[in-house]
C-alpha cells in the first residue's frame, strides 16, 4: 500500500510540475489500460514499445499479458522512469522489460530505416495535445516510420484535438472512448 501511495504521489507531482510532459495528475486506470492493450495478442513475441510509461500502470499489465514479447518502456521523466523500474522489479518483470529514460523521438530513431527488428506495436500515453504542433507531427511521423509492416500504433488522449494529425499519417484509424477513466479519454488504433 505504501509503495502504491508513493507511486501515485510521484506521478501527481510530476504531472503538476511538468504538465506538458505528463498530461495528467493520476496514472491511467484499468479501464483505459485494458482498451489500450486489447489489440495486442497474448502470443506476441515481437517488440512492443511503450511511450510515456509513467509509473508503469500499463507496462505491468502488458508484461503480464504478453510473457514472450520484448517490451521497451520509454519515460522521459527520470523520477517516473525509476518508479516504473521499481514497479516492474516488485512484480518480477524487471528482467523482461527494459525501461529507457529518454525522449520518444530519440528511442524511435533507432528503428527508422531498419528492415527487421522494428516494433509490432507502439503504445503511447504521450500527451500530444500539450506538445507544440510541429513536434507532435514529427513524433507521429517517426512513429509511423519506426513501425514494422502491418504494425499498430495505439495512442490515448483526453481530447480529439489530434485526430486529424493521426488520420493523415495512418491509412486505418479507429477511435474508441474510455469513459470510465478519470479523466475520460479516447484511444486511437492506427495502422499503415
pLDDT tens column, 146-163 = 999 999 999 999 989 899
d(CA 107, CA 28): 22
Domains of the chain in start order, with CATH, are: 2-191 (3.40.50.150)
pLDDT at position 56, please?
95
Percent above pLDDT 90 for the chain: 77
In 6-115, the DSSP E strands lie at 47-51, 70-74, 97-100
Count how many Cα atoms sit within 13 Å of the Cα of residue 107 in the half-sphere of its side chain: 23
User: For residue 24, is pLDDT > 70?
Assistant: no
181 — pLDDT class (breaks 50, 70, 90): confident
pLDDT in tens, 29-84: 789 999 999 999 999 999 999 999 999 999 999 999 999 999 999 999 999 999 99
Provide the pLDDT for residue 26: 54
Amino acid at each position: 500500500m505504501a509503495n502504491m501511495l508513493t507511486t501515485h504521489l510521484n506521478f501527481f507531482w510530476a504531472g503538476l510540475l511538468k504538465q506538458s510532459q505528463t498530461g495528467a495528475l493520476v496514472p491511467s486506470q484499468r479501464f483505459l489500460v485494458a482498451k489500450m492493450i486489447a489489440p495486442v495478442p497474448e502470443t506476441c513475441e515481437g517488440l512492443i514499445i511503450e511511450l510515456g510509461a509513467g509509473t508503469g500502470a500499463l507496462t505491468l499489465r502488458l508484461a503480464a499479458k504478453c510473457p514472450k514479447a520484448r517490451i521497451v518502456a520509454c519515460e522521459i521523466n527520470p523520477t517516473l522512469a525509476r518508479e516504473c523500474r521499481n514497479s516492474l522489479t516488485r512484480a518480477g518483470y524487471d528482467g523482461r522489460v527494459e525501461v529507457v529514460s529518454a525522449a520518444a523521438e530519440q528511442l524511435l530513431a533507432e528503428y527508422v530505416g531498419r528492415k527487421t527488428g522494428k516494433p509490432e506495436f507502439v503504445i503511447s500515453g504521450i500527451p500530444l495535445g500539450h506538445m507544440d504542433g510541429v513536434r507532435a507531427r514529427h513524433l507521429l511521423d517517426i512513429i509511423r516510420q519506426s513501425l514494422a509492416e502491418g504494425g499498430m500504433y495505439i495512442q490515448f488522449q483526453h481530447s480529439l484535438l489530434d485526430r486529424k494529425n493521426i488520420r493523415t499519417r495512418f491509412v486505418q484509424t479507429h477511435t474508441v472512448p474510455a469513459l470510465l477513466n478519470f479523466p475520460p479519454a479516447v484511444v486511437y488504433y492506427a495502422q499503415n
